[in-house]
Amino acid sequence: MRGPETTQTAGFTAADFTGVLVVTLDRPPANALNRSAIRNLAALFADLTEMREAPPVVLTGQGERFFCAGGDIKELEQAPQQELDARMREFHTLLVAMDRYPRPVISAINGHCVGGGMEIALFADTVLAVHGARFGFPEINNGLLPADKGIQRAARLLGARTAKRLLLSGELFDAETALEIGLVDVLADPAELVAAAVVSAREAGAKAPVLYSALKRSVNDSDDSRDEVSLHRTLGSAAEYFDDPVARGLRDSWNGSRTRGGQG
Which residues are known to be catalytic? Answer: 119, 139
For 141, the 3-state DSSP assignment is helix
Instruction: Give the list of residues 6+ apart from residue 41 with CB closer than 8 angstroms, or none.
Output: 11, 12, 23, 33, 94
For 201, the 3-state DSSP assignment is helix
Instruction: Give the list of residues 6+ apart from residue 228 with CB closer than 8 angstroms, or none.
Output: none
- Closest by CA to 28, choosing from 73, 63, 77, is 63
Residues 161-180: b if buried by 16+ CB within 10 A, e if exposed: ebbeebbeeeebbebebbbe
- Where does the chain show beta strands of DSSP type E? 7-9, 12-17, 20-25, 57-61, 66-68, 105-109, 112-114, 126-130, 134-136, 172-174, 186-188
Q: Is the dihedral of CA 212, 131, 71, 242 positive or negative?
A: positive
Q: What is the DSSP letter of 192?
A: G
Element (H, E) at 18: none
What does 71-94 look like in DSSP terms, one character per residue? Answer: B-GGGGTT--HHHHHHHHHHHHHH
What does 208-220 look like in DSSP terms, one character per residue? Answer: -HHHHHHHHHHHH
